[in-house]
Structure 1
Amino acid sequence: MASMITCTAWVPRGYAAPFPTKYNFDEEEFERIAAMAKLQLDDAREDLEEAEAEAEAEAEGEEAESGKSGSKKSKKDKKKSKDSKDDNDDDSASDIEIDEDLKEYDLEHYDDDDDGDGQPMAMFGNIKSLAYYESNDDDPYITLKDDPEDEDEEREDLQILATDNLVLAAKVEDELAHLEVYVYEDAVDNLYVHHDIMLPAIPLCVEWLDIAVSKPNVDKDAPANFVAIGTFDPDIEIWDLDTIDCMYPNAILGQGGSGDNNADEGDKKKKKKKKKKSKKANDEYHVDAVLALAANRKHRNLLASGSADKTIKLWDLNTTKCAKSYTYHTDKVCSLAWHGVESTVLLSGSYDRTAAIADMRAPGDQPLRVGVESDVEQVRWDPHDPNYLYVSTERGVIHLFDARAASKDPAASKTVWKLQAHDESVSSFDLNTVIPGFLATGSTDRTVKLWNITAEGPSMVVSRDFDVGKVFSTTFAPDKEVAFRLAVAGSKGTVSIWDTSTNPGVRKAFGQRVPTRPEGEDVEDRLVALDDDESSSSDEEEGDEDGEGSSGEGSQGGDAMDED
């Protein structure tokens, strides 16, 4: 499998700790990890027992069909063959000569089970018996002690300044899935990987959280720096971005979580076994891939998730439990967005070709809907006018709807306008939260386009190929100081950050919001990526000199733009 980045997210300035802490494996952490690992081992053991039971049942059925005589004969042959094999094994074992120097190690019984008082081998089974020290200075087996100068240098390398942004990129490389945490230094045009987080499956969605989850001795109202990650697994993992080299997530939302801590072991086993048998959608956890996440910025403890199991779950991050489940879509739920003003209203997009507007306080009510011509890819509220919402589709179309005109019948919905933005699927788009009417779209046709949305409708400003492959993510930076920065990522596994204000078309369309520059001063194109990915910049700069390919304010994007 080739390298690819499936999604990205920005972390606003000031939330990351200046000096992230190293992971501390102490007694309490051991107990937490052991409990989480035991749940996974129990799942694997139950799966194995079920598979063995099914295989045994199939074998018994085949034997019953072949008749009693054939069955008895077969069993005798098997027993005879087994006895013969055991005799041969004993003979061969007796023929092996053991070197005199190796006898004391008793290697012939190396793989035997330990029936004595020794600790059995299992996941994390022997970790507790190991001695660990607060500092390498206390460890008698470490003769080369830490150099204070090296520690200061390492600490400086990990430092994150208040003017830095973090960029989170969910990446798949060969058979390895992980989240790369980049530091973007805008002042010096620098982008580098700070640390990464290993993931259990291919990541599909990432959502930054400003609340501490399952972290004791931390004020829940204090700002924090966490991330929620949805993958092909039905569970949602939550990690602390200010702690590096973590072994396990801080919390797991779903069936893989630790369960009710107040319940006794018997209740836990009964509850878990009951869950294990049920693969159908339910009100407690997802049973299929998590495709979308949305954090509520006003009610910080609420996280919404959409899944391929056709449900939407509302999670309470204080308890890590599912507070409510919603089933008003008839196909996979692929995108979610909270309303900017009405903080309990959630917009959801689905493969059932509708986008739904629902108040989470009224789970029994049917939501308002708008319909589109094909599967929904992404949905967004207009950050500058919350009466309007945008929907992108797999056929490359962007729709603008007025939420006030939505009804319970999606077939009756009318668009304000629709735009054939790309020839292929609009896999990602974003609206600038600082600059009104500034829209960026990314497509599997490998291009990124910038649009100027006015009262007359949308007009394309610039189209560009960033050489990131099929574009899966286009996201604007969240801070006012870097509002023109656009992160682009795709199927080639690279992230590029473009300062769109260096483009003449963008300055012409949004000039009133660009700092004044001396007349006649040339503006150098700013495209920041990792060192290995800068080889394509020369070709792109040539395109800039020619007017950025098909750029030009007032030109219509794609094939057509219809107004109703």
Structure 2
Amino acid sequence: MEQDQKPGRINFISCVKWVRRGVAKSNPDKVRLNKDELVRLINETRSELRASEDVSQAEASTRMNVDDEFNLENYDEDDDDKTTAQLLGISSLAEVEGATEDHFSESDDSDKEDDEIKPEDNLILAGRVEEDCSTLEVYVYNPSEESLYVHHDFSLSAFPLCLEWLDHEPGHSAGNYCAIGTMSPIIEIWDLDIINCLEPAYKLGRKPSTKKRLSRIGHSDAVLDLAWNKNFHHILGSASVDKSILLWDLDEGQPATTINAFEDKVQSIAWKTDEAQTLLAGKCLNKFITL
């Protein structure tokens, strides 16, 4: 997946992951946002990008009038759509419409044919960094046709470091999801069967806020690796720069177990396939630990 790039231009793939053939929807859903939803997402994105330990204080000091700044009164005009997309770093926002209450739309036959994922298609997930924009790209690879292309992508709020496929979302049947570890301590889980989605299906972790009197949940630094337990589908392991491993209960959205047996960053983790309770961890200083 090498691409030509200009000298000095930042453009690279930081992490990749296969998706098992046959788990993706043949015709993914498409999202349409109304203006109020888009304003909310812009404010939330700005807050995340500028936040420090106290998210509320940072947001209060930098918040601006979104309607005036981005001329959302003329939201349906092409130029304004382009400006909004550039703010969010989203390349797949072309179909957003301004006056609809529906979240999902029915495409015409030609669009459906272009978006269709065939039974013989393979999916590849890639975390891409291009200048100051980070995205999760979903590639389709068809070996018989010898074709490889980006089917859809998602805009990320932080530099992607690791990916893990899983099928679990609380309260839903088995699906097609990707957990992403980034330079942020918050883990995002995205629904891969939705196109033009601007928000993850759910998140794991919470930054502390003095003003809101909220304590931290989860890691305090970047997430370096993720490992989903294929025997217990509600368990996800995460390794971090903060020298810890967390075992998340996805149904509760909380860490069920915290492992602080390390003197340095935990670089990688993997579950033993035939023993659901055994986890292998690799840390800095070239050492392995079996937990």
- 1:78-477 correspondence runs (5 A): 131-134=99-102, 151-211=108-168, 213=169, 218-219=172-173, 223-256=174-207, 269-270=212-213, 272=214, 274-275=215-216, 284-358=217-291
SS at 1:187's partner residue?
Answer: coil
Give the counterpart letter for 1:5 in structure 2.
I
Give the counterpart letter for 1:208 in structure 2.
W
**Deviation of the 1:248 alpha carbon:** 1.1
SS at 1:343's partner residue?
Answer: strand
Question: For residue 425 of structure 1, what is the aligned residue in structure 2?
Answer: none
Higher relative contact order (CA 8 A, sep 6+): 2
- The size of the alignment, in residue pairs, is 253
Question: For residue 4 of structure 1, what is the aligned residue in structure 2?
Answer: 12
- Relative to 1, partners in 2 of residues 1:28 and 1:295: Cα closer, same or farther, differing over 3 Å? farther
Give the counterpart letter for 1:195 in structure 2.
H
C-alpha separation in 2, matches of 1:153 and 1:171 = 28
**Deviation of the 1:162 alpha carbon:** 1.3
- Relative to 1, partners in 2 of residues 1:134 and 1:335: Cα closer, same or farther, differing over 3 Å? closer
Q: Is the 8 A contact 2:138 2:152 kept in 1?
A: yes
- Relative to 1, partners in 2 of residues 1:162 and 1:330: Cα closer, same or farther, differing over 3 Å? same
Give the counterpart letter for 2:224 in structure 1.
L
**Deviation of the 1:121 alpha carbon:** 6.9
C-alpha separation in 1, matches of 2:245 and 2:102 = 44
- Relative to 1, partners in 2 of residues 1:287 and 1:152: Cα closer, same or farther, differing over 3 Å? same
Q: Is the 8 A contact 2:243 2:264 kept in 1?
A: yes
Structure 1: state its 5+ residue gaps: 51-110, 114-118, 136-147, 260-266, 276-283, 359-564
**Deviation of the 1:247 alpha carbon:** 1.1
Q: Which protein has the larger Cα radius of gyration, Structure 1 or Structure 2? A: 1
C-alpha separation in 1, matches of 2:44 and 2:10 = 31
Match 2:57 to one of 43, 46, 49: 46
**Deviation of the 1:2 alpha carbon:** 2.1
Q: Deviations over 1:423-481 (max 9, x none)?
A: xxxxxxxxxxxxxxxxxxxxxxxxxxxxxxxxxxxxxxxxxxxxxxxxxxxxxxxxxxx
**Deviation of the 1:353 alpha carbon:** 2.6
C-alpha separation in 2, matches of 1:314 and 1:238 = 15
- Relative to 1, partners in 2 of residues 1:31 and 1:320: Cα closer, same or farther, differing over 3 Å? farther
Give the counterpart letter for 1:10 in structure 2.
W
Q: Is the 8 A contact 2:237 2:246 kept in 1?
A: yes
- 1:498-537 correspondence runs (5 A): none
2:26 is the alignment partner of 1:18: yes
Structure 2: state its 5+ residue gaps: 1-8, 76-97
Report the identity percentage. 37
C-alpha separation in 1, matches of 2:211 and 2:257 = 21
SS at 2:112's partner residue?
Answer: helix
What's the TM-score, normalizing by structure 1? 0.40
Question: For residue 481 of structure 1, what is the aligned residue in structure 2?
Answer: none
Structure with a larger share of its residues in strand: 2
C-alpha separation in 1, matches of 2:283 and 2:26 = 40
Q: Is the 8 A contact 2:47 2:59 kept in 1?
A: no
Q: Deviations over 1:335-384 (max 9, x none)?
A: 110001110110000003311101xxxxxxxxxxxxxxxxxxxxxxxxxx
C-alpha separation in 1, matches of 2:33 and 2:99 = 11
- Relative to 1, partners in 2 of residues 1:10 and 1:287: Cα closer, same or farther, differing over 3 Å? same
C-alpha separation in 2, matches of 1:225 and 1:29 = 24
Q: Is the 8 A contact 1:349 1:355 kept in 2?
A: yes
Give the counterpart letter for 1:336 in structure 2.
I
Give the counterpart letter for 2:153 in structure 1.
D
**CA-atom RMSD, angstroms?**
3.7
What's the TM-score, normalizing by structure 2? 0.75
